[in-house]
Structure 1
């Protein structure tokens, strides 16, 4: 567990997160950036419409941005977030958020959410038809509907692992399915110790059901008799974050609402980039990251 309370923790290593890190770290604050930069949608892109640059690879931009942020004192930790616990005003720490990653626990006075909005889908039969009838993309939002039932989480990264751990407190039996897992060994051991049934090396072939989900068919021919399927392919999405933190979403329920200072409705939480809505462009993400970084720094300095 990290004993040091961070001033600002930034979720996401895309252009919004990097710019927020640069501007907040330059204020002399303790800034921690969580995420995996090769998971950013920009990593594989080629940029030709960003001001003052000719064609450049997204990978080059992200690597350079991290070097810049580190030069001002920002620290990067290459893990995604499993869960976030809002402040307990009765605790000795006071108005401090607790962030659990795959292997560490961090505490922070402020959070800047820059995780993007992509919610990857499986693209298998039954997924679309049974959405809302047992198929979900948010464990925190819908897990309570499956108390005492058998469920499955699909995904091999931190969001899926965190979701599976959460469901062990609700479901009678929890399965975790992935072709390949990309999580820390310590986290894998936690999953096993929690009694989660691991299905590695298989893909989902079909989600079955009528008025509700009644099974998950795997490509090895086996079928899991589950009533709930939670698809968690990647880092935590906007719905999961909103459910945990209480941040307001826009009418489409796809994006976090912020004001002109990139503040959310929750004191100490800011957001920037694609997670705040279109246009989904790097130029917008960088600008919002700048504003969020400065605003979060101001918030932290006021609270000292």
Structure 2
């Protein structure tokens, strides 16, 4: 991976992200693709309704083929999750990955899909918004001085637990198996987060005031006022909130874009499931194509202005 400024960084290695990388790279821009293909919803799926592809195709094979294409056109790849985004005074975007790398770019494409964050345990739906949250970056401030628990095995959970140390009195992390980089794991173990290793949440309990405790699979009850469910990598809501990207006003779940896949933040684009249904590969690829071309043009113009 190069240390120089990238023209375009694409977050997400599903069909939208890969197609964006192909088209942005073909415009001779410097492109970095962030993420793991196994996190894509297409990875375990089979496809038989995509135009010009005959028969049933394996999702994993399609993604690996697409990744090979993107690399052939010049895109670089970093198989890490993205934790933070911020925009600098000079207009460049700085992204921080799970291993602690900070990388700069002129344009950013969000194509990480939609997170399936439900634990599906008793009490989860009942206390949603009353102690159960799916976004540390959005709700941490409501739990100042409280005892909270984060649930998850991946980068979003570990980063969320570390973030909550600045707000909460005590932070638990319930994880069946930690699957993160060594750097993020080191930061966790050196912190004051209390890790409940190998533990699964069995039930979320509470009353009229909201969440009061969490029952684990070993029947241990942990007193807590908040439960943050952070499964997988950082999702659309968390990352978008960091730089003020506008979500849809009805569900506050998807990123609003126009026909050019532009968000309300100049230089930030979105494509694929993250922009809303239908959740189809055909839609994701089409939006990725547009986002890749538009982001490349934006980055070139930005470079000219800065030179």
Match of 1:71 in 2: 72
2-structure distance, mates of 1:19, 1:50: 14
Alpha carbons 1:150, 1:174 under 8 Å: kept: yes
Match of 1:190 in 2: 187
1:102 to 98, 105, 109: 98
Q: CA RMSD in A?
A: 1.3
1-structure distance, mates of 2:102, 2:222: 33
Deviation at 1:218, TM superposition (A): 0.9
Structure 2 unaligned blocks of 5 or more: none
Identify if the C-alpha distance between structure 1 residues 109 and 58 changes in structure 2 by more than 3 Å, giving closer, same or farther: same
Does residue 154 (structure 1) correspond to residue 155 (structure 2)? The answer is no
Match of 1:224 in 2: 222
Alpha carbons 1:43, 1:62 under 8 Å: kept: yes
Deviations, residues 77-135 of structure 1 (Å, cap 9, x unaligned): 111111112x231xxxx111111111122111111000111332111111010000000
Match of 2:19 in 1: 19
Deviation at 1:19, TM superposition (A): 0.1
Alpha carbons 1:100, 1:106 under 8 Å: kept: yes
Residues 61-140 of structure 1: pairs in structure 2 closer than 5 A: 61-85=62-86, 87-89=87-89, 94-103=90-99, 104-140=101-137
Deviation at 1:242, TM superposition (A): 2.4
Match of 1:302 in 2: 301
Structure 1 unaligned blocks of 5 or more: none
Alpha carbons 1:135, 1:213 under 8 Å: kept: yes
Runs of 4+ with >6 A deviation = none
1-structure distance, mates of 2:141, 2:256: 25
Deviation at 1:3, TM superposition (A): 4.1
Deviations, residues 136-184 of structure 1 (Å, cap 9, x unaligned): 0011111100011111110000111111111111111111111111101
Match of 1:268 in 2: 267
Identify if the C-alpha distance between structure 1 residues 77 and 45 changes in structure 2 by more than 3 Å, giving closer, same or farther: same
Deviation at 1:44, TM superposition (A): 0.8
Mean CA deviation greater in 149-158 or 216-225:
216-225
- Matched residue SS, 1:278: coil
1-structure distance, mates of 2:252, 2:119: 21
1-structure distance, mates of 2:105, 2:46: 34
Alpha carbons 2:26, 2:73 under 8 Å: kept: yes
Alpha carbons 2:148, 2:226 under 8 Å: kept: yes
Alpha carbons 1:2, 1:106 under 8 Å: kept: no
Mean CA deviation greater in 16-25 or 3-12:
3-12
| TM-score when normalising by structure 2 | 0.95
Deviations, residues 10-49 of structure 1 (Å, cap 9, x unaligned): 0100000000000001122111111110111101111000
1-structure distance, mates of 2:98, 2:60: 24
Alpha carbons 1:83, 1:162 under 8 Å: kept: no
- Matched residue SS, 1:151: strand
